[in-house]
């Protein structure tokens, strides 16, 4: 591991909630950090808060190329394509990551653009119901899981560079293959959004419901406060993985409905749900310390460890540092 790799500057493209928080967290960790945002609003807000930001994509990318910066793509999936050609033209050698909630679709776009050799995808599992630069803060990722891709193409040096950013942001890294990430994200992030929307719509039609709504409704609909465009972007980009999760949830609810109607009982769903939540509460976390990045089979080992609850809390040795 070379010092220049670890301390590469960070160039964040997109200064919304997540990108804006990455910029702040990287700067707070003592790293050179600068950002680009398409709209002047985000840039002005970032500059007013003392950060280094521009609306000029070419300026940001040229600076990234000159300084060997790690480029962090932090735009919604639909906005991705318009960034990739300029990156390929102006900063093709820079290590590249993203913070998007869907990994398969991003990897596909990156591969189509010919940028996969320097790309290691990422996804911080953190957020709020709010969006935009003002909603972000440097502590957003503290203690949160942050997925780092270990797909077959992943380069050890780029992996270590991205891992260092994740750790600098205060997160724990969870290694995962893109398609496994997407199936999991469908179940634990995209499906909850749709359930929250359905709950909000159902209650809105019942007189007195909002007058009485308290904890379980507020929690159950919190993510329905997320901007619709963001919810659509992540659900629709991951529709192939979301469909089976949605089908499963509908089937469980339909079975409970039939049982409630036929015998007044929701025992099966309630007992299974409680058991599943209890398993989640007791899900074992362990620290991954023995894998050497770049050694034989390292990606497969990391994927298996991540699946079993393993997280990375400090830099791993890499083969060329031994």
Nearest to 33 by CA among 10, 66, 6, 65: 10
Q: Which of 60, 53, 71 is nearest to 115 (CA)?
A: 71
Among 307, 315, 317, 321, binds a copy of itself (CB under 8 A): 307
* Part in contact with a copy of itself (CB under 8 A); list of ranges 17-25, 85-93, 111-119, 255-263: 255-263
**Contact call for residue 85 and a copy of itself (CB under 8 A):** no
Nearer to a copy of itself, 59 or 202 (CB): 202
184 lines the binding site for a copy of itself (CB under 8 A): yes
Q: Does residue 16 come out as left (phi exceeding 0), alpha (psi in the -120 to 50 range) or beta?
A: beta
Under rule CB under 8 A, which residues in 113-142 are in contact with a copy of itself? 125-127
- Its sign, for the CA torsion 109, 12, 229, 251, is positive
Query: Alpha carbon of 154 to those of 18, 116, 261, 301: distances in Å?
Result: 23, 8, 52, 13
CB of 37 to a copy of itself, least distance (A): 24
Choose the stretch contacting a copy of itself; rule: CB under 8 A; options: 32-40, 49-57, 78-86, 256-264. Answer: 256-264
User: Do residues 146 and 122 lie in contact, with contact meaning Cβ atoms separated by under 8 Å?
Assistant: yes
**Site membership for a copy of itself, residue 81 (CB under 8 A):** no
Our finding on whether 22 is near a copy of itself (CB under 8 A) is: no
289 binds a copy of itself (CB under 8 A): no
Number of residues that bind a copy of itself (CB under 8 A): 95
Which of 132, 245, 256, 137 is CA-nearest to residue 191?
Answer: 245
Binding-site member from 200, 288, 291, 316 for a copy of itself (CB under 8 A): 200
CA separation for the pair 271, 94 (Å, rounded): 51
Quick one: which segment of 87-95, 152-160, 251-259, 314-322 binds a copy of itself (CB under 8 A)?
Answer: 251-259
Check residue 249 for interaction with a copy of itself (CB under 8 A).
Answer: yes
- Bridge partners (DSSP) of residue 12 are 35, 72
**Spatial separation of the C-alpha atoms in residues 160 and 314, rounded to whole Å:** 11
Q: Is 242 in the site for a copy of itself (CB under 8 A)?
A: yes
């Amino acid at each position: 591991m070379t010092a220049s790799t670890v301390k590469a500057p960070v160039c964040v493209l997109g200064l919304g909630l997540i990108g804006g928080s990455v910029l702040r967290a990287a700067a707070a960790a003592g790293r050179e950090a600068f950002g680009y945002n398409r709209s002047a609003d985000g840039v002005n807000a970032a500059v007013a808060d003392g950060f280094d930001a521009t609306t000029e994509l070419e300026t940001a990318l040229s600076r990234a190329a000159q300084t060997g910066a790690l480029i962090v793509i932090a735009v919604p999936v639909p906005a991705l394509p318009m960034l990739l050609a300029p990156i390929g033209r102006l900063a093709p050698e820079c290590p590249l990551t993203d913070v998007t909630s869907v990994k398969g679709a991003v990897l596909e776009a990156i591969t189509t653009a010919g940028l996969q050799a320097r790309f290691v995808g990422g996804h911080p599992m953190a957020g709020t119901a709010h969006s935009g630069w003002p909603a972000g803060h440097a502590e957003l990722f503290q203690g949160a899981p942050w997925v780092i891709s270990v797909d077959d193409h992943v380069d050890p040096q780029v992996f270590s560079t991205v891992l260092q950013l994740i750790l600098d942001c205060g997160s724990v890294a969870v290694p995962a293959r893109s398609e496994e990430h997407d199936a999991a994200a469908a179940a634990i992030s995209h499906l909850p959004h749709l359930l929250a929307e359905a709950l909000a719509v159902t209650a809105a039609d019942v007189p007195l419901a909002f007058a009485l709504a308290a904890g379980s409704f507020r929690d159950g609909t919190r993510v329905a406060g997320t901007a619709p465009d963001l919810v659509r972007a992540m659900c629709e980009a991951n529709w192939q993985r979301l469909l089976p999760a949605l089908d499963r949830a509908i089937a469980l609810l339909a079975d409970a409905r039939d049982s409630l109607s036929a015998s007044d009982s929701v025992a099966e769903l309630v007992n299974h749900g409680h058991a599943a939540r209890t398993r989640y509460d007791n899900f074992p976390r362990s620290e991954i310390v023995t894998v050497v990045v770049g050694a034989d089979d390292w990606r497969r080992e990391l994927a298996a460890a991540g699946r079993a609850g393993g997280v990375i809390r400090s830099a791993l040795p890499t083969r060329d540092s031994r």
